[in-house]
A and B are shown apart, each in its own frame.
Chain A
Amino acid sequence: AQSVSQHNHHVILSEAASLELGCNYSYGGTVNLFWYVQYPGQHLQLLLKYFSGDPLVKGIKGFEAEFIKSKFSFNLRKPSVQWSDTAEYFCAVNLNRDDKIIFGKGTRLHILP
């Protein structure tokens, strides 16, 4: 079945550590890729998106993600995390021929001050 897999359910890091959250999907066609973030008590917000072109995309707050087509991956990275990055992060995929977005189960990121 088509799916989006996020490898880490819960990640704990200290401030200034580097972050990489894994995401893999199982669709074979043309895809659009997203990372959404949900800060405590807030609604889901778009962090970054990939539609075409440069596979390395940059988003808000210093986040970036790299689309590797051969690996069906779209991992999220940040070189130095801050306490304010504590949130839940969702990887999501849209098939270009479809109008729905399929979400992974999320990764809870906790940054220690």
Chain B
Amino acid sequence: GAGVSQSPSNKVTEKGKDVELRCDPISGHTALYWYRQSLGQGLEFLIYFQGNSAPDKSGLPSDRFSAERTGGSVSTLTIQRTQQEDSAVYLCASSLQVQSYGYTFGSGTRLTVV
């Protein structure tokens, strides 16, 4: 597609429930990233996929968080047993080559855990 597409744009869930967030990157972009944006905390790196390589999961805050990227394209971020501190905007970005182009971001999914 023309841009990075994320769905849903907003999600309200009850504490303890699982949620899945979806990201559809720009066609042809081999790298895909998930970040979390909280008020006053900037952008926190979560996980990164590059082609067929094993993902860099170094930013995942707990084992309740996981992500997959199927067929080198669409990615889903799953949060199990959600907690109130998981409330944030989850951003997806894709890139052809970070060193030359930086990232293109999606509009994000605003997650609210009640």
Contacts and interface: CB of A to CB of B under 8 A. Distances in A.
A90 B43 contact: yes
B98 interface: yes
A90 B102 CA distance: 13
A9 interface: yes
B40 A90 contact: no
Given A32-B99, A51-B99, A51-B100, A43 B107 contact: yes
Nearest to A106: B42
A99 to B, nearest CB: 5
A11 interface: no
B91 interface: yes
Contacts of B31: 99
Q: Number of contact residues on A: which range applies?
A: 20 to 34
A101 interface: yes
Among the interface residues A96, A101, A105, which one has the most CB atoms of the partner chain B within 10 A? A101
A103 B99 contact: no
A112 interface: no
B70 interface: no
Contact of B103 (A42, A96, A101, A104): A101
Given A43-B105, A44-B105, A102 B98 contact: no
26 contacts: A9-B40, A32-B98, A32-B99, A34-B102, A36-B105, A42-B107, A43-B106, A43-B107, A43-B108, A44-B103, A44-B105, A49-B102, A51-B99, A51-B100, A94-B98, A94-B102, A99-B56, A100-B33, A100-B56, A101-B98, A101-B102, A101-B103, A103-B43, A105-B41, A105-B42, A106-B42
10 A-B pairs closest in CB distance: A105-B42, A103-B43, A44-B105, A43-B107, A43-B105, A103-B42, A99-B98, A106-B42, A46-B102, A34-B102
